[in-house]
């Protein structure tokens, strides 16, 4: 089985913010981890260009929509790069390959009899890019965007979503893990159980979008176009190859909760209508809310939270994203929290542990460490802690729980720190009769750091190899190496430079 993970494609009506970074970070952590487990992975991200709001922004700027999106797409391509995320493909919905596939896909649904024509009159919120019912408005306004929706009356093509209610419910009931976390599964299922209305898959009178193959006077509604990217990308991401057979069976979608309905209701029904299997799983995460006051207070001129990457580096931001808030839940995180975690956890717990361990190996063992019969690899307590962590991390990340997994790895980091304090190698070094025991302790510390580096590699892709190099270990990141007692002999170990150097005060 392959592992294909997508982020949503992001609207390009403005530049990226921390919310987009959050999803992209999480996706990259999951994909890197699965690659460590030997899975064949594919990571897809990109941008949604055909929204009405994108068209409007371009208009306001006096640009043709394509010229506008060509200009702003750079900032979106930079997002994964700045986070040290490595997507296999970055899709744009204006790609020729996407347009061709969308037309084929919609034609299939049309040919299968699931599309009909009707005049629609309704209230459309451009912010949401969807029609609103009267009773979803507050004081006549969309409660999400605080604006009065536009009255639209036009001829549209409709998708018979209502015809899929029973099939969707049956699918949900047969696949209780299809949407995670559980409360999101229940939310989506009860939406379906509450009755489904057909939805318009086209827009008239808008020149920006993909023309419908059977009526070129209409363009595909932005969601009917956007959702299909998860399949279309596989048809042209690698020139000359169709990756659908390889990766679609392993498809998983990751997204924030605001677009759950499109992914958990509309998309599976569209796939059924077009004759595709549904993706393996969908994970819906909450919002990483920032305390705005603290942004200005502690970071002065930092306006764009992505500037955090320039201050702390990509690894600490990735780590903070995973740890600050339980993935899946909403939570608020303070900007000060990242500094705290940088100094206390990354700097002290992990960085100092490496500096001290390597310095002691240099000083007490002449820089040489390695397995020695009867002396090393005998710490059953540590071996057990590692085994528990390893099993826990595998189970957590199978369920997208990047927070719980890193918490478990950190328990081992803390255990190693306690082990240093309790065994006090600097005392042992004064007593010649304890030479073998000292070597055993330093072996355990080096081995612990080695396996922690491998376990953390998905979160800290820049830092993990530095730890392995400092300990003279191979840079092989296979997750099998997260096991006690695999440290190999190394010489020439020197006290390592700080992994996370102290920062100048950012608001200075
Ligand atoms: Zn709205």
Judged against a pLDDT cut of 70, whether residue 507 lies above it is answered with no
Take residue 370 and report the two structure tokens written for it.
């390695």
Positions annotated as catalytic residues are 17, 20, 125, 128, 142, 145, 294, 297
Assess whether pLDDT exceeds 80 at residue 302: no
DSSP letter at 461 equals T
Give the separation between CA 46 and CA 90, rounded to whole angstroms. Answer: 5
413 vs 40, 381, 392, 452, 506, CA distance in Å?
A: 29, 14, 15, 7, 27
| DSSP assigned state of 434 | G
Q: 147: CA distance to ligand 1 center in Å?
A: 7
Output 504 or 204, whichever has higher pLDDT.
204
Say whether pLDDT at 303 is over 70: no
Q: What is the pLDDT of residue 104?
A: 98
pLDDT in tens, 264-285: 999 999 999 999 999 999 999 9
Mean pLDDT over 317-338 rounds to: 89
Q: With the C-alpha atoms ordered 341, 26, 221, 272, is the resulting torsion angle positive or negative?
A: negative
Q: For the residues 436-451, what does the mean pLDDT come to?
A: 97
- Position 506 pLDDT exceeds 70: no
Q: How far is the CA of 240 from the centre of ligand 1 (A)?
A: 40
Q: Tell me the CA–centroid distance for residue 144 and ligand 1, in Å.
A: 5
* 145 Cα–ligand 1 center, Å: 4
* Residue pair 386/412 in contact by the 8 Å Cβ criterion: yes
Give the distance (Å) from ligand 1 centre to CA of residue 495: 56
In the chain, pLDDT over 90 holds for what percent of residues? 83
**Weakest-pLDDT range from 47-61, 93-107, 358-372:** 47-61
Report the mean per-residue pLDDT for the chain.
93
Residue 67's Cβ-count burial label (10 Å; 0-12, 13-18, 19+) is exposed
Instruction: Express each pLDDT in 14-50 by its tens digit.
Output: 888 888 999 999 999 999 999 999 999 999 999 999 9
pLDDT of the residue at 152: 87
Concatenate the DSSP letters of all residues of 36-87 into one string: HTT--EEEEEEEE---HHHHHHHHHTT--HHHHHHHHHHHHHHHHHHTT---
**Token couple for 25:** 């970070």
**Ligand 1 center to 185 CA (angstroms):** 23
Q: What is the pLDDT of residues 152-197, one digit of tens each?
A: 888 999 999 999 999 999 999 999 999 999 999 999 999 999 999 9
Rounded distance from Cα 493 to ligand 1 centre (Å): 59
> What residue segments make up the domains of the chain, in order of their start?
3-285, 342-481
What top-level class would CATH report for the domain 3-285?
alpha beta
Average pLDDT on 333-356 reads: 93
- The model's pLDDT over 104-151, given as tens digits with 9 standing for 90+, comes to 999 999 999 999 999 988 899 988 888 888 888 999 999 888 889 999
342-481: CATH homologous superfamily? Isoleucyl-tRNA Synthetase; Domain 1 (1.10.730.10)
For residues 82-94, give the mean pLDDT.
Answer: 97
């Amino acid at each position: 089985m392959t592992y294909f993970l997508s982020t949503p494609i992001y609207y390009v009506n403005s530049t990226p913010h921390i919310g987009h970074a959050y999803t992209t970070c999480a996706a990259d952590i999951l994909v890197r981890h699965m690659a460590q487990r030997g899975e064949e992975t594919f990571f897809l991200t990109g941008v949604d260009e055909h929204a009405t709001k994108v068209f409007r922004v371009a208009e306001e700027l006096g640009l043709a929509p394509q010229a506008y999106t060509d200009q702003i797409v750079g900032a979106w391509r930079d997002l994964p790069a700045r986070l040290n995320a490595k997507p296999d493909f970055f899709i744009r919905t204006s790609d020729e390959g996407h347009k061709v596939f969308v037309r084929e896909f919609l034609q299939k649904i049309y040919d299968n009899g699931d599309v009909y024509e009707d005049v629609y009159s309704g209230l459309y919120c451009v912010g949401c890019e969807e029609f609103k019912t009267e009773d979803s408005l507050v004081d006549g306004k969309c409660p999400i965007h605080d604006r009065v929706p536009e009255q639209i009356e036009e001829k549209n093509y409709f998708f018979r979503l209502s015809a899929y209610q029973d099939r969707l419910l049956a699918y949900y009931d047969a696949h209780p893990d299809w949407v995670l976390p559980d409360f999101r599964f229940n939310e989506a299922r009860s939406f379906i159980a509450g009755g489904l209305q057909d939805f318009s898959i086209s827009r008239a009178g808008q020149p920006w979008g993909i023309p419908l193959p059977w009526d070129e006077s209409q363009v595909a509604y932005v969601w009917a176009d956007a959702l299909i990217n998860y399949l279309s990308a596989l048809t042209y991401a690698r020139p000359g190859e169709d990756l659908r057979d390889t990766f679609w069976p392993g498809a998983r979608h990751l997204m924030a909760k605001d677009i759950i309905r499109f992914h958990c209701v509309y998309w599976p029904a569209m796939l059924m209508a077009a004759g595709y299997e549904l993706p393996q799983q969908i994970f819906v995460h909450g919002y990483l809310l920032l305390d705005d006051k603290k942004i200005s207070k502690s970071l002065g001129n930092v306006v764009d939270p992505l500037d955090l990457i320039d201050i702390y580096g990509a690894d600490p931001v990735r780590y903070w994203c995973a740890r600050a808030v339980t993935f899946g839940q909403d939570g608020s995180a303070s900007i000060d929290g990242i500094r705290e975690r940088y100094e206390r956890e990354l700097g002290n717990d992990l960085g100092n542990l490496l500096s001290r361990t390597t310095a002691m190996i240099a000083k007490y063992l002449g820089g040489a460490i390695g397995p020695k019969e009867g002396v090393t690899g005998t710490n059953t307590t540590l071996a057990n802690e590692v085994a528990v962590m390893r099993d826990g991390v595998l189970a957590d990340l199978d369920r997208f729980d990047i927070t719980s997994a890193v918490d478990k790895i950190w328990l081992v980091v803390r255990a190693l720190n306690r082990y240093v304090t309790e065994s006090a190698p600097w005392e042992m070094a004064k007593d010649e009769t304890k030479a073998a025991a000292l070597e055993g302790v330093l072996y355990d510390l080096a081995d612990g750091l080695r396996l922690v580096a491998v376990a953390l590699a998905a979160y800290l892709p820049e830092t993990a190899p530095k730890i392995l190099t400092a300990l003279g270990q191979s840079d092989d990141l296979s997750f099998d190496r997260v096991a006690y007692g695999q440290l190999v002999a190394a010489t020439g170990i020197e006290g390592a430079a700080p992994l996370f150097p102290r920062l100048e005060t950012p608001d200075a």
